[in-house]
Structure 1
């Protein structure tokens, strides 16, 4: 049985218990149960992000900055899986999407709760930027979490969470593409970010009930790209999804595929 150690930062006791029950419910459904999970609940996004920055300094890591718009974080810097979650996400995203966000983080705690998943070294012969490599590692881990949640029947909340993220970013993506497409470095980071979006939602496309809705959101998310670029990204995530490898090997292979099919062929 997993021990869930909760720390609350200004959150109502009843809300704390509700969120803890959500964490517990998912852990009970999965085959592998980590011995312990640290669950830190913050009242606001600002307080969570301030804490995340202090942890960045404490552990000498630099991944938080790429995630400044996230509503939750996961890590294993304490030696065990840890989730940081802002209860304010339930108000900003809505109840369904907010809980979808939390379950996504619990999935990471279950699948990626060891330190090795946070100190992944970029292959020496890799030609992509470190920022791009980091985004690809996130994409692969998100894909694995979505596979887990799909198998456990959590589909509507994950789709709601995905839509809330995509629709928040669409207008800015359309605005910046004319600029970033002329810059090799910015273009690869942008396309890696879109690959991450596709990896997150890909497993849920297997649910016939939501296929049409998912295709619509994905199409809107990629609408600013030329047709050949869109096709290459969709084909790439489809190929990555078929890889039968351990997480770290999957990341390395996905990096090679991104270089060959996106970096050298399109950008």
Structure 2
């Protein structure tokens, strides 16, 4: 990995505290005598994405890695096709939240402003508000390159992911999305109160670092709905591993995109729902 890529994948750009300690009162069922305590809570904040001075969407996010979020969201929303179409991202204070001002390349900005947006937060909040069934988002099909992934590599990534979730250790309230190389080494982890946002942050970091989508696989801690498959397919990764179960539409989309989808993934077992030909039970097999 190039040093510049490592720097991007490991950097953080927290624009506000990501957790907040609050006082609590703890009551045990067997002993109703309450005791005072405190607990770290994950911060949830509205973030307004703005393109060319025109507001586009307000997403509820954890206020960290926001530049990554802007890149990943822009890709998975279909606003850009590559990182070089974004000239800069500026984080600003707004009324009751933050603003992400995204400066697009002139040609891309004109296309964006001329394009009617289907709904607010198209892949970020499911499909609420689409005009018809034909409006369901679908990533462009692509030909996947590269070899398979060993089962042992997936297990290695899953075992490492727990320790890598720093904010979740403090709050027990956020999702994570991670990128692992073919050996199962975690190269990047992003966390957010929103499962879609966490994946967008990860994809944004990988875009900015110039990571080859065929050089590893994605691991998510959340439920695997079809949007998570679509976002991963948009980035171009061929293997998606989810700790929770997939939906039926997620499996259909994974098969459509010729993706390997593993879910209900634990340290000792996983379930393969599509693309089993890409998994290697042992080295070279």
* Higher helix content, 1 or 2: 1
Q: Same fold (TM over 0.5)?
A: no
- Alignment TM-score, normalising by the size of structure 2: 0.28
If you compute each CA radius of gyration, which structure gives the higher value, 1 or 2? 2
- Alignment TM-score, normalising by the size of structure 1: 0.30
